Structure 1
Amino acid sequence: MGTLEEKQTIPSSFQEMTNVTAVLEFRLLGFSSNPRCQILLFTLFLVIYILTILGNMIIISVVTFEPQLHSPMYKFLKNLSFLEVCYTTTIVPKMLADLLAQRKTISFSGCMAQLYYFISLGATECYLLSAMAYDRFLAVCEPLHYGVAMTAESYTCLAVGSWVTGGFTGFLPCLMVSRLHFCRYNLIDHFFCDISPLLKLSCSDTTVTEAVIFILSLLVLSSCFLLTLVSYLLIILNILKIPSASGKRVTFSTCSSHLMVVTIYYGTMISMYVRPTYNLSSELNKAASVLYTVVTPLLNPVIYSLRNKAFKKALGQVVIRHHRLHSL
């Protein structure tokens, strides 16, 4: 019939009083129950997902095979593109399957795994964007020392450090949520396992869990955002000192793409998490979640491919080489 549940080994009188069960699966409410609407959403999200994977894989391939793009700036971009592929794959395939399914369920362990990767990859993106901002700061404000400060070893430390630190960031929130008790009612009013709907679903006292997760989120978001903000403020101040308008334009063009990605990412994340949630409808909450889990990963390849002249030139060379190879 419904939920697979099994009683915890506690006294029956206490069970009857608290009605606590060990939930083995959750049901995801998802989007509209209208079949036509679900097919429309499935088609839309599938197209966006395919474009996201293709776009980011093109960036990874071009940066890998074009020697002129082997600078730290483009290596960071390759890391960001790979992260976007992982990030959107954590959410979208399951969401697509649920749009066509009669019964939208996810196991408890699957839910916790999705939650862990969602948090870890989100934190990793914050760290990577900060590292990319620091790289642009060195390139614009300290050009004479850039080769010494941003060596291959420095890049490796920043890139690997971002991934490792992001991986550790996801452990504590996921562990604390997994240790909560969930009652018989196991319907998650969302299309994936996010922190907020899981905390609302728990019949445990979530005060400590909410406080720890809020503090950790605030530390990660605020520290990375401030580091990125300071880097770009210094970059802008340095650009304003350039006497010629063409010099200002050329210098700003080297970091404008990354600045747009940063603005979009932090804009969606801050609007989603740094505001009261009690007066936001579940539908509006889902719409905001779609923005940063489905749409934002697509914007990364679009922005970099359209605004970066060096990347467009390298992409053109790859296309010409590929055409010549197949015309022989």
Structure 2
Amino acid sequence: MNQKLFFTLLFGLFLLSGISHYAHFGTTIEFIISAAAILFVAGFLGKATESVAHYAGQRLGGFLNATFGNAAELIIAIFLVREGLFDMVKASITGSIIGNLLLVLGASVLLGGLKFKEQKFNVQLASHNSSLMILAVIALAIPAIFISNQHFSAGSAEFLSITIAVILIVAYVLWLIFSMVTHKDILEDVEETTPDHGEEPAWSKGTSIIFLVLATAMTAFVSEWLVSTLHTFTADFGFSEVFVGAFLIAIVGNAAEHSAAVLLAMKNKIGAAVEIAVGSSLQIALFVAPVLILVSTLFGPTMDIVFSPIELTAIAVSVFIAKSISRDGKTNWYEGALLLIVYIILGISFYLI
């Protein structure tokens, strides 16, 4: 799609989404238009981030892509928290984690592997990512087990949730210091076999930064319009809040990471693709989810960190298969297919709830 057509569709859908929201076209129409708009806005966010990443370097670029790619999910979740839809928030967190580990990483590995027989990335980075993913599972499982089985009081459950949220944020900050500062050289990506051949970014450095800010602002507006339709939409079509949060919202919110990660994998930059997919999942589990718990204290009742057994199982299964596939620092198309198969199994299971 050429740039002129992309921007025409982007701003056209953005305006149409706003008009449908304030003119009350009807919930289903509003949901469809807003979902289409956020896909293009997320794509715009991905393009702007990729352009900024060109100037910042591959590892930092992957981190920036994951961070700004998660902006859509974070903003959507904040509006859901404000509405008190805690179950849908937890489902969207679950969906974001499994969506990045299975859908985004799976599509990247599959399509990159179809073009290149085997792709390699830093094995030490893969090892550390695996350890952090296990930490995320532990951090989510422990409060669920203790609070559910030991009959904690509301005050104790709230204290434990806030405490774990703060600990996870500290752990994530320490990981950034470790990976970006003290051990940056050790975790550098392996040498790429396919250079850029003089590829230039889509925009200049200044324009890229401006577009990044603009895309984030547009994401905030469209996210609020989308969230406002969810109550009626789920009731009209008989979808469970868990399915809507874990798959519909997560797929829409993952659009930025999905497009950028796949494009990078097809350029044989699997290291950056893994950084986006796995790094985004870690960011959701260790930073976004804890931040949402802290933010919930500003709107009224505090959201606890207790995830349902179904959600914890989905996260644990995703971490297990992603860890198994990425631990050797090598990928091929069949491993990507395995990740997508697990995602489809989970998707069907969640739909039938």
Q: TM-score, normalised by structure 1?
A: 0.35
Q: Which has the higher helix share?
A: 2
**Structure of greater Rg:** 1
